[in-house]
């Protein structure tokens, strides 16, 4: 699963919880950031094999700390606690992100967004997701079927963006920017799924995760920032 993860970020953001979209973009890929970091450190192991599955070249044969069910739950709780701690601190509790009655469920939403990564990976991955440590591996393997997997990614993303547009008040320019961002993500997914390329090394793949996913976070930040500035400038 790739851009489909971002559907959860778009779907979770409401006027009520006021969690910034960029924070949710980090949350839904939190396990992937942990994974890429551990691959770079040589702790988790990855092989990049052309044609490993129809939809992915990643043979992630040892990733018990980022992608086992137990550690996914632990990372979700940690992320929720970090969000709660940061939002309760002085510069934040008087700002828009404070945990008022309206958005006190925000840390729980962050935790669920982090955990959603494992659930969506479960659908796409071959049997490489351990329940505990490196044992009892599960995965429904939708990556073996390239077109249905691609269709699911795009359908999820479209659904998430639809909810985001429906549940958040915003000027037309932001609506346009969100839709353009969605189209850009679909193009990235087309490139990932259908454009043949030579496999990168494990470390280069992990570096790519850090660079591209962070770029998406920056775009998510910019989209909500520009629109807010225009709103406050409005008469």
Residues that bind Zn ion (CB under 5 A): 32, 121
Nearest to 177 by CA among 130, 120, 228: 228
Please state the closest distance from residue 15 (CB atom) to Zn ion, in A.
30
User: CB-wise, 168 or 189, nearer to Zn ion?
Assistant: 189
132 and 118 Cβ atoms separated by less than 8 Å: no
Please state the closest distance from residue 121 (CB atom) to Zn ion, in A.
4
- Cα Dmax for the chain: 60
Q: Burial letters for 93-117: b for 16+ Cβ neighbours within 10 Å, e otherwise?
A: eeeebbbeeebeebbebbbbbbbbb
Give the CB-nearest residue to Zn ion. 121
User: CB-wise, 116 or 168, nearer to Zn ion?
Assistant: 116
Please state the closest distance from residue 66 (CB atom) to Zn ion, in A.
7
Please state the closest distance from residue 3 (CB atom) to Zn ion, in A.
13
β-pair partners for 129: 138
User: CB-wise, 4 or 160, nearer to Zn ion?
Assistant: 4
223 and 178 Cβ atoms separated by less than 8 Å: yes
Helix, coil or strand: residue 1: coil
Distances in whole angstroms, Cα of residue 101 to Cα of each of 16, 79, 130, 168? 10, 20, 38, 18
β 135-138/56-62 pair status: unpaired
**Around Cβ 189, how many Cβ atoms within 10 Å?**
18
Please state the closest distance from residue 32 (CB atom) to Zn ion, in A.
5
Please state the closest distance from residue 187 (CB atom) to Zn ion, in A.
21
User: CB-wise, 67 or 174, nearer to Zn ion?
Assistant: 67
User: CB-wise, 44 or 224, nearer to Zn ion?
Assistant: 44
Helix, coil or strand: residue 138: strand
User: CB-wise, 84 or 137, nearer to Zn ion?
Assistant: 137
């Amino acid at each position: 699963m790739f851009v489909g993860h971002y559907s959860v970020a778009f779907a979770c953001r409401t006027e009520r919880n006021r969690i910034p979209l960029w924070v949710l973009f980090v949350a839904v890929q939190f396990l992937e950031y942990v994974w890429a970091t551990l691959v770079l450190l040589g702790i988790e192991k990855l092989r990049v094999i052309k044609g490993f599955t129809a939809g992915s070249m990643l043979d992630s044969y040892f990733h018990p700390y980022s992608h086992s069910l137990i550690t996914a739950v632990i990372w979700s709780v940690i992320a929720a606690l970090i969000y709660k701690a940061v939002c309760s601190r002085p510069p934040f509790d008087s700002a828009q992100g404070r945990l008022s009655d309206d958005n006190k469920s925000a840390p729980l939403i962050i935790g669920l967004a982090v955990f959603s990564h494992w659930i969506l990976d479960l659908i796409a991955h071959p049997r490489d997701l351990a329940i505990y440590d490196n044992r009892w591996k599960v995965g429904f393997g939708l990556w073996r079927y390239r077109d249905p997997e691609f269709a699911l990614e795009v359908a999820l993303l479209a659904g998430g963006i639809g909810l985001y547009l429906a549940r958040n008040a915003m000027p037309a320019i932001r609506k346009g920017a969100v839709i353009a961002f969605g189209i850009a993500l679909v193009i990235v997914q087309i490139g990932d799924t259908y454009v043949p390329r030579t496999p990168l090394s494990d470390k280069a793949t992990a570096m790519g995760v850090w660079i591209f996913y962070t770029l998406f976070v920056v775009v998510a930040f910019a989209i909500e920032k520009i629109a807010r500035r225009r709103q406050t400038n409005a008469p």
